[in-house]
Structure 1
Amino acid sequence: MRRTLLATLVLGLLSACSFTVTVPLPDQEIPLNAPNTAGKVVYPKAGLSFERPPVQVQKVLLGGEAELSPFAPVSLDLYVRLEGNFEVAGCTPLGDLYYVCDVGQKDTYLGRIDLMAASSAPFTLGQQGGEALAQGVNNGRFWLGAKVGGVGSVGATLRLRNLKATATAGL
């Protein structure tokens, strides 16, 4: 009885050592309208830069509002990269501000945003790839890219607004 009570008390105290930190992130715009984007991830050349949280985080969920303009019914796969060395990774420049990349080892899949019925939708991703997001949040920088689900491309621009990283810190 005493051991069970002690174990419950210790577990309760350890769980109380975890807390949530919200990190606001800058909005991002990703063009998905170039013909060579079909089946590839489009990344902005400049990554998301932001103030690092005051503590190291272990797990991160990324949330915000996705908007596709003009509207096209699609699903979008989001990826994160921790490094911006796109030339070395074999990516192709798309104008001066973006790169188009095959999915590779440096790309971590975050999840899918469904815009099949409306031009905008709230999203929360990171159940997959949350560790890579945590590393990016701890560094104060990462690159967020999008790929049209399936093999097609769309004549539209993806805007990610009100982005925030909800991070768990502690044990």
Structure 2
Amino acid sequence: MDKKAPSKPMLVRVLNWAKQLMLMLVVFTLFSAAIDLWRSRDIPTDNLPDLQAMTLNGNAVDILAMSYQEPVLVYFWGTWCPVCSFVSPSVDIMASQYSVVTVAMNSGADEKLSQYLKHKQYDFAVINDEKGQLSHHWSVSVTPTLMVIKDGQLQFYTSGFTSLPGMWWRMLLA
């Protein structure tokens, strides 16, 4: 006689799956936070390095001064960075609503970088850190890196993939 084991009701299976998914999300979040803490150990939270520069469009930018008016999202990235190609569109959306300044690390000459931005249709302000001096001064060695600066102090720091909701929450909480 061929007896089949009774199958679990669908609701029980879905709840078990949801519980496992939530556990994985918690572990992933804790792991990501630990990595961010480790990577940010050399970055000061106050007395930040001065970041005054010219954007590719010729506009003067003073991030610390801007941060006293409203939070500023600072995005260190590179045209050569594969993860940045997923994060940059979200940064572009954020730039339409918030103060955003980006630093293109080791991404070539101004003309090459401008062509890349035009091709991708990005409208965010870009400082070309052609030789990586600004990023070195800020102790940034990983792309993408996002920082939220408010009142001259580092409020949030994260590196690696960051979602649009993650950026949005950081800006709201700053």
With the length of structure 1 as denominator, give the TM-score of the two structures: 0.35
Higher RCO (CA < 8 A, seq sep 6+) = 1
Structure-2-length-normalised TM-score: 0.34
More helix by share: 2
Larger radius of gyration: 2
